[in-house]
Every structure is written in C-alpha cells, then in structure tokens.
Structure 1
C-alpha cells in the first residue's frame, strides 16, 4: 500500500538525467563554457598601435571649377587675321619662287620647252613648226601614246573634222572674195568671212577638239560635258553656214543659188563651199552621237563633272590667292568692327 500513498506526480530520484555522473562531471569541470570561449588568444594591444599604418593620402585632388578662359571676339578675330596673313605670305613666297624659276628658264632662252619638259616630261609637238621658227609648239599630241585604243579612231576623226572645217573656212573666204569682185555690195560677206576664219579656226581647236582629246585621255567627266555644250553650238553654226544666209559671210546654198544666175563661175565655187559646209554639219552630228555613246560607256556622270570642277577650282593658285585675300579683308573688317 505504500506505493499507492506516494505522490504520483513526483519525479523519481533515479530518473533525473542531470544526476548522471557523466553530466555532473562536465558541469563541475574547470573548462570554460562555450559562451565564454574566445577563439583569439588575448594579446597586448599596445604593439598593434605601433604597427598601425596611417591612411594614405590620395594623389587626386578634389575637382575645382576653373574660371572660363574663352577668348574674346577681338582675340579670335586677331588670331584668324594672323593665320590668314601667314597663309597669304606662304602663297606669295611660293609664287615668287615659281616666278624666279621661270625667269631663270627664260634667261636660258628655252623657257617654254624646259617648263613643259619639267612639268609633263614631254616636249610639245603641236603645231608642228620648224625649229628655226620663232613661235614654239604649244601642245603635246600623240594619239597612240595618250589615247586608249578603243577611242583613237573617234578622236582622230574629230581632229580631221577640225582640219576639214579650217579648209572650208579658207575656201569660204576665197568664194566671198570672188563674189565681192563681181559685186562690190557684197563686201560685208568678204569681211565677215575673214573674221570667221580668224575666230573659228583657233577657237574650235581650243573649245571642242582639245576638250574631247583630254576627255578621251583622262576619262574626265567635266571635259565631256564641256565638249558636248560647245560642240552642240558648233553643229548649229555648221548648219547656218551651210544654209548661207545673205550678208552673214557664208557661201551657203542660198547665196550660191542667188549668184549662179548672174555668174556661173562664182556660183559654182560657192556651191562647192556650200557642199563642204553641209558635209561638216553631217559629220559633226554623226561624231556627236558617237562620242555620246562612248561617254555613256565610260561611267561618267554629271556628279563626277561637278566634283572635278570643284576640285580643279579649289586647287587653283589663282582661286587660293583670291580666297585668301577675301578672307583677310573680311577678318580685318570684323576686327575693326569689334574695335
């Protein structure tokens, strides 16, 4: 009955787990508990202060706003004027050097020949004049050397057309002279015929033959366009000359049929000249179409012509000198206006 009299809720003495000898041994030992354990051994801190490295000073300084140093308009104008004056002096120095070299060549008696050889490496050979002649050749011309083979035939035909035109103009002067001898009222035709010969012979060479020669030689779009413009005007002139309007200095068909009734010899001469003018007009139209067809195959264009023209103008010494002078004047005016 003693077991029934005891407290059922009381913990038995032998059931306390903390009374186990292994537990009581650990709790009563001198080992420091975990919460008091320091993994780093205690060391004197006085030495650490001696070895402490001071914070290094940054080599970069804080950004400081600098005051604005923008130059004044007067200083800008003065600098621009000084720069332009320096460029102008350089151009003048180069021009003086070229003049000095040209004078040296002239003093040797062969300035034109030597200058051509120096610049192009080729001696001018056109017009083919005797060596004893006081006037020297002005151009270099060689179809086999300078013109591509596919363009040589057309280029030579343009050259032959120019020569044929010169011969026709000379015969036109003779026909108008013959007409003038039979009727003094036609002296105006004779005078104009002389003028056309003097004017058209050299101008046609310079204005449409040399441009087409240069166009075939260098494949220049600008030379092609210049040739087309001038040669179209030449075609119109050929047509007018072949018609033969009275008092215009041309022995064309109208003048020939007018005089043939009174003087058959003069009329026959004028008919021959009218035929020659007609041949010039027909050949010029054919050659214009041939050159245009070749031009389309070369890849030339109006944009390329504009580019070549602008490059040629801007690289010209005359244009550079004029531009430098104009810019210098403008800079001086601006400088004076600010002052």
Structure 2
C-alpha cells in the first residue's frame, strides 16, 4: 500500500515546456500558434489549416423577402389553373362589342318600325296607303294591287309566322311552275299527254293568284287586326288547299300533276323525264307536309289571340252592313218592297 501513496520528489531543473509532447506539437505547422500566425498581419499569407477551418465565411447576400400571396376569402373565387392572357381579353372585348352592336341594330329596327307606324297614323283614318305589292316596274301598265308591310302592320310576336306563310306561298308557286316544266318534258317524249300539259298550265294560272288572295291575305289580315272572320276564312280555304296538295302528291294520271304515280310510270317511257317528275313529286310531298304543319301552327296562335266563332259572325255582319254596295242594295230592296206594299194597298 505504501507504493501507491508515495509521490516522487519534485526536481528543480524540470521544465514542463520541454516535454516531448509539447515540443512535437509546437514544431508541427498544421497547428496554429501565436508564434506561427498573426491574424492581423496580411504579409504572412493565408492562415494555417486550423484557422482556415474556423475562419468566418463571407457574408451571404441578403435576399429580399417576397410578399406572401394574399389569401383568398371564402367568397372570393379561386383560380384553378386558367390564366388570363391578352388573347382572352381581346376575345371578351370582341364578344361584348358584337353584343352591343346587335342590340343597337335591334333598337334601330324598332325605331324604324315605330316611325312607320307614326307616319301611317298621321295619314288619318280616311287616308289610304299606296299599294306596293306586287312590286312591278314603273313602266308596267298595271300597278300594284295590295299594300303589304309585315314589319309595320304585323305585331312583332306574329311577324315570323306571317313571313313563313309568305315564303310558303312563293314555294307553292315555284312548285307549280316546275310541275308545268315536268308535264312539258313528258309531252315532248309522249304526245298523248297533252291533256295533262293543258291542266298544268291551268293550275299555274289558277292556284298562284287565288292562293295569295284566298288564304294568304286572310291570314295576313287576321294577324294584322286580330280578325276572327279572316281566321275562319283562312282555315277553311287552306284546308281545302292542303287536300289539293295531297292529290298533287299522289299524281293521278291525266290531272296535270307530276306526282308519284305519273312519275313512276314516266320512268318506263324516259328515264330522264321520270327523274324530273320524281323531283317534282318530292316537292309536292314537302309542300303537303309543310301545309299541315303551318295549319297547326296558325291554329295554335289563333287560340292564343282570343278569337271565336261569335266574333267572326259579328265581324261578318258589321262588314256586310258597312259595305256601301250592300247598303244601297238593301235600301233599294226595302224601297221596292215598301212601294209594292203601298201600291197593293191602294188598289
């Protein structure tokens, strides 16, 4: 135990800095010492590795902080990837300009129509408008027979229907003209069809003006003045006209109609003529189908106007009594009857 409690005696000439570990450390240049490196002296070159490892690095450039995007409120719509490009802005502006232009044109048409109405009312109840239909040239000896202006005389809710009826009448007239050409082509290859050609000429001369006067003008007047009498006149005459259109579509031989029966029979005589007549049969079929559709359309509008058979009777009675010729005839008949009764009483 004494060997562990015995301490060596200090030696006077012992130098702690002469220890081999200390001298080895001070002789190694990789370790920074006060004798080897002065940080305030730039002439000694770069610092030793020990100082270089612990030297403060160069200050990093300060990056300005970006403003965080504003958060959308619950009521604010979010953008899910659609970008607002300049082309999108141009398209939106163009669409807006087109919409405004359409509105301005519509207002201009409405103002023009009202101006025409004011001009027509300024003529007075006894004044008459100048006829403008049919549009004949000035050098023609025969002048127009009717006054027609759908945009001015017809209500805006019925203008489309009246315009369709007018175009339908022109379609029927063109179909009858084409029927005449079909019968003429058949007569060129088969001279025994002269009766059909003569009847085709008669149908063109008869149906074209009569259809305009008998069913188009009544429907025009009906929508113009909400006339129940004209509505009933149109329904009766147009229904008969549709029946004739069905007969035209069938094409009974010898009746002057290039319907399906005549056109199929004409294929045996001449294929080109048969094809022409089959085209005419297709037109007759479309004409009959459109007639049925338009009849139902006008009838549905008639029920919306509040017209009735009682009003038609009243209008007929008022129109008959307001006619000058009818009143003169009634007065003459009354005077003759009174004179005969007076003469008989005197005898």
Q: Same fold (TM over 0.5)?
A: yes
Find the counterpart in structure 1 of residue 298 from structure 2: 291
Q: Is the 8 A contact 2:189 2:269 kept in 1?
A: no
Find the counterpart in structure 2 of residue 316 from structure 1: 323
Matches within 5 A, 1:10-29: none
Q: Secondary structure at the match of 2:158?
A: helix
Q: Tell me, in whole angstroms, the C-alpha distance in 2 between the residues paired with 1:310 and 1:154.
A: 28
Find the counterpart in structure 2 of residue 218 from structure 1: 225
Range moving further from structure 2, 220-229 or 258-267: 258-267
Change (3 A) 1:197 1:308: same
Q: 1:121 offset after TM fit, Å? A: 4.0
Note if 1:123 corresponds to 2:130: yes
Note if 1:179 corresponds to 2:179: no
Q: 1:262 offset after TM fit, Å? A: 2.4
Find the counterpart in structure 1 of residue 197 from structure 2: 190
Note if 1:302 corresponds to 2:318: no
Q: Secondary structure at the match of 2:269?
A: coil
Q: Is the 8 A contact 1:176 1:190 kept in 2?
A: yes
Q: Is the 8 A contact 2:251 2:261 kept in 1?
A: yes
Q: Runs of 5+ in structure 2 lacking a partner?
A: 1-122
Question: What number of residue pairs does the alignment pair up?
Answer: 224
Find the counterpart in structure 2 of residue 69 from structure 1: none
Q: Tell me, in whole angstroms, the C-alpha distance in 1 between the residues paired with 2:143 and 2:301.
A: 34
Tell me: higher relative CO, structure 1 or 2? Use CA pairs within 8 A at least 6 residues apart: 1
Q: Secondary structure at the match of 1:128?
A: coil
Instruction: Encode CA deviations 1:85-136: one digit per residue, 9 max, x unaligned.
Output: xxxxxxxxxxxxxxxxxxxxxxxxxxxxxxx999544221111111121111
Q: Tell me, in whole angstroms, the C-alpha distance in 2 between the residues paired with 1:207 and 1:121.
A: 22
Q: Is the 8 A contact 1:314 1:320 kept in 2?
A: yes
Q: Is the 8 A contact 2:173 2:208 kept in 1?
A: yes
How big is the alpha-carbon RMSD for the aligned residues of Structure 1 and Structure 2? 1.4
* Matching residue within 149, 169, 188 for 2:176: 169
* Matching residue within 218, 222, 237 for 1:230: 237
Q: Tell me, in whole angstroms, the C-alpha distance in 1 between the residues paired with 2:320 and 2:344.
A: 31
Change (3 A) 1:247 1:309: same
Q: Tell me, in whole angstroms, the C-alpha distance in 2 between the residues paired with 1:215 and 1:118.
A: 19
Q: Is the 8 A contact 1:151 1:216 kept in 2?
A: yes
Matches within 5 A, 1:29-40: none
Find the counterpart in structure 2 of residue 95 from structure 1: none
Change (3 A) 1:284 1:128: same
* Matching residue within 202, 206, 221 for 2:209: 202
Q: Secondary structure at the match of 2:253?
A: coil
Q: Secondary structure at the match of 1:149?
A: coil
Q: Tell me, in whole angstroms, the C-alpha distance in 2 between the residues paired with 1:239 and 1:184.
A: 26
Matches within 5 A, 1:1-339: 119-339=126-346
Find the counterpart in structure 2 of residue 89 from structure 1: none
Q: Is the 8 A contact 2:132 2:147 kept in 1?
A: yes
Q: With structure 2 as the length reference, what TM-score do the two structures score?
A: 0.63
Q: Secondary structure at the match of 1:261?
A: helix
Q: Is the 8 A contact 1:124 1:140 kept in 2?
A: yes
Q: 1:261 offset after TM fit, Å? A: 2.2
Q: Is the 8 A contact 1:117 1:123 kept in 2?
A: no
Q: Runs of 5+ in structure 1 lacking a partner?
A: 1-115
Q: Tell me, in whole angstroms, the C-alpha distance in 1 between the residues paired with 2:221 and 2:345.
A: 50
Find the counterpart in structure 1 of residue 92 from structure 2: none
Q: Secondary structure at the match of 1:285?
A: helix
Larger relative helix fraction: 1
